[in-house]
Copies of this chain bind each other. A is one copy, B any other.
């Protein structure tokens, strides 16, 4: 066993004491894990991580993911001590990401050091973590992205991409299903560029992990096809560095390094106990721990001379050299491969290539129409050839969700060992919805445009990563098909009811439920340029008539969230509003009412959030406040529609679960018929 040098130990203890002090000052936070894992974290950053603190945006940097996001003081301490520079609006500034003052503002309002690490908020944080297991999934996505970027951009003599992804995870991550799914995926994909460092401290919030978690994690990961290593003492720097070297040398499998640590290392009474996990240690324990480290116990936020210099001499110097070398290489590359360099620049700056939308089709009117999942698949396949870094797939449902890229050369993303290529654009996530979302976040954080798909009902299995896409402003495209009781025979377990409103209620998510093939085309035209948020495309299993746009308003109205699709001469007496598959239904009702001389308006309302973003004038022009006879029709929960129909309107919606039967029978059973809409309209008009 080889412990760290005195110089290194000074750095390690600085991380530990800063973490303790910040948590204590905030009177809130998690001191135990930074204390336990300071040594391996320091060893990784100082000796191995290829990362230039002066350029946190360097494209080929190794990624460090703190999946144990509650240990945020660990990464804040590292960012501060390593002198990582600040980044704002995609530019590196000549200022530190964090100052000592920022550490003192840990967990305070508007500080740069929030309770859990937040992407975009603190430079050096590669992903927002805290919800357990998500960082693990993200890291698999980052490793996939590296493989894909390497396959696409590397050329002989130009290894532009060869970075490694390191993830710190804990017992909680190991227990979460999303991390299990992600690990199985990473094993299948042979992601040799991925290393998880598992902090096995055997303590969880309820006490020893013996009460709930006694499995053999290493054996499980061997089952996944991982390379498994073990370090018996987190403070054994030599052993840990040897394990990291082994991990790097094993290029055909991901590596799990199980590191045995003591939570709250050094605290006289609380070390190794659950009380070191999620609350300040208290002044006495802190003094005791400082004494144990040989630290001046009266000082707080103490950074000994030389600590930052040590980081600069190690991580800093190595990173600067590597990034300088890379930039020189890239300059040559840009001359030899100007088109690829342009593409890479677009990826890294989040721009779209010229002509990305040039092949989006327009659909002829058709009474028979086409399922929106089908037209969406066509539009996706019309966009993807012109947007080469749009990659994605499904949780084993692509034949149903129609998201497979079918054009020449699209290919599947698979390791050479499975006779595939990492340059493929179709990802096979397996039946792992939760990991799919989390992986897509990791891919997106790497600059690649990611989409994923499944049945709308199974958005329930992957809500946490959808929320994190929004929190991180990541433009992941979520494609959810089979969006209502229109699913038919599969029955209530497969028929979404509340899923639409829960996605609409999630901040920062744009939901789109297009009414026909042309709205599908406009939905894609609208969502692809939205690079600061996830979008959710909600599509039908069943055919939807393609509206005659020479009769009805153009589908481009979709971009405003809601628009007048069909109108009366003069002010309407009644407004019929609907989304997706129900728009055709209200159009039919409208035609009947019109024939009867009723002044009716149809509003297609594919996106509440885009509509809410419009000026009041526009919103009032679509839904004039003076018109109180309003009907909303949606084969989903009614919750939320009152906002648009008001207290005097009516909502035709689902008031319980669906049932198993052919879709037509269900629509009749649950009242989604032209007659039902007409009856409701007449009742309102008679008031």
- Interface code A440-478, partner B: CB below 8 Å = 1, 0 otherwise? 000000000000000001101101100110110000000
Interface 9-mer from A284-292, A382-390, A556-564, A638-646:
A638-646
Chain B residues near A130 (CB, 8 Å)?
490-491, 493-494
Nearest CB in chain B to that of A214: its residue = B188
For A185, give its contact among B115, B212, B463, B497 (CB under 8 Å).
B212
Bound state CA distance, A129 and B468, in angstroms?
Answer: 29
Check: A93 CB closer than 8 A to any chain B CB. no
Chain B residues near A220 (CB, 8 Å)?
219-220, 223-224
Check: A669 CB closer than 8 A to any chain B CB. yes
Check: A399 CB closer than 8 A to any chain B CB. yes
Q: Which residues of A562-587 have CB atoms within 8 Å of chain B's CB atoms?
A: none
Chain B residues near A657 (CB, 8 Å)?
470-471, 507-508
Contact B666 A177 (CB under 8 A): no
Check: A361 CB closer than 8 A to any chain B CB. no
Bound state CA distance, A431 and B211, in angstroms?
Answer: 11
Task: Find the residue from A432, A458, A625 having the highest chain B CB count within 10 A.
Answer: A432
Check: A637 CB closer than 8 A to any chain B CB. yes
Check: A128 CB closer than 8 A to any chain B CB. yes
CB distance from A341 to the nearest CB of B (A): 33
Check: A318 CB closer than 8 A to any chain B CB. no
Nearest CB in chain B to that of A646: its residue = B647
Check: A104 CB closer than 8 A to any chain B CB. no
Check: A504 CB closer than 8 A to any chain B CB. yes
Number of copies: 2
Q: Which residues of A401-443 have CB atoms within 8 Å of chain B's CB atoms?
A: 412, 414, 418, 428-432, 434-435
Contact A204 B431 (CB under 8 A): yes
Check: A329 CB closer than 8 A to any chain B CB. no
Chain B residues near A213 (CB, 8 Å)?
184, 188, 430-431
CB distance from A34 to the nearest CB of B (A): 16
Nearest CB in chain B to that of A639: its residue = B505
For A659, give its contact among B69, B109, B128, B414 (CB under 8 Å).
B109
Chain B residues near A414 (CB, 8 Å)?
211
Bound state CA distance, A471 and B496, in angstroms?
Answer: 12
CB distance from A168 to the nearest CB of B (A): 16
- If A204-B396, A498-B502 touch, whether A431 touches B491 (CB-CB below 8 Å) is no
Contact B661 A108 (CB under 8 A): yes
Check: A172 CB closer than 8 A to any chain B CB. yes
Bound state CA distance, A310 and B370, in angstroms?
Answer: 49
Chain B residues near A397 (CB, 8 Å)?
205-206
**Total chain A interface residues with beta-carbon distance under 8 A:** 113
Check: A181 CB closer than 8 A to any chain B CB. yes
Chain B residues near A175 (CB, 8 Å)?
181, 184, 396, 430-432
Contact A206 B69 (CB under 8 A): no
Chain B residues near A26 (CB, 8 Å)?
489
- Interface code A108-140, partner B: CB below 8 Å = 1, 0 otherwise? 111100111010000000001111100000000
Contact A659 B177 (CB under 8 A): no
Check: A47 CB closer than 8 A to any chain B CB. no
Chain B residues near A637 (CB, 8 Å)?
505, 507
Contact B656 A206 (CB under 8 A): no
Contact B625 A457 (CB under 8 A): no
Check: A662 CB closer than 8 A to any chain B CB. yes
Chain B residues near A225 (CB, 8 Å)?
214-216
Contact B206 A110 (CB under 8 A): no
Check: A400 CB closer than 8 A to any chain B CB. yes
Chain B residues near A548 (CB, 8 Å)?
none
Nearest CB in chain B to that of A461: its residue = B464
Bound state CA distance, A506 and B637, in angstroms?
Answer: 8
Bound state CA distance, A131 and B657, in angstroms?
Answer: 15
Q: Which residues of A239-295 have CB atoms within 8 Å of chain B's CB atoms?
A: 274
Check: A678 CB closer than 8 A to any chain B CB. no
Check: A488 CB closer than 8 A to any chain B CB. yes
Check: A350 CB closer than 8 A to any chain B CB. no
Contact B457 A131 (CB under 8 A): yes
For A107, give its contact among B111, B114, B661 (CB under 8 Å).
B661
For A501, give its contact among B132, B205, B494, B505 (CB under 8 Å).
B505
Nearest CB in chain B to that of A664: its residue = B109
Check: A52 CB closer than 8 A to any chain B CB. no
Contact B223 A217 (CB under 8 A): yes
Chain B residues near A468 (CB, 8 Å)?
493
Contact A431 B132 (CB under 8 A): yes
CB distance from A594 to the nearest CB of B (A): 26
- If A463-B460, A491-B130 touch, whether A176 touches B431 (CB-CB below 8 Å) is yes
- Interface code A493-535, partner B: CB below 8 Å = 1, 0 otherwise? 1100110011011111000000000000000000000000000
Q: List 12 A-B contacts (CB under 8 A).
A: A118-B492, A184-B213, A188-B214, A204-B396, A216-B223, A216-B225, A222-B223, A223-B223, A468-B493, A504-B639, A505-B640, A640-B640
Known: A188-B214, A461-B463, A507-B655. 9 other contacts (CB 8 A): A26-B489, A28-B662, A205-B396, A205-B399, A206-B394, A215-B225, A219-B223, A501-B501, A625-B647
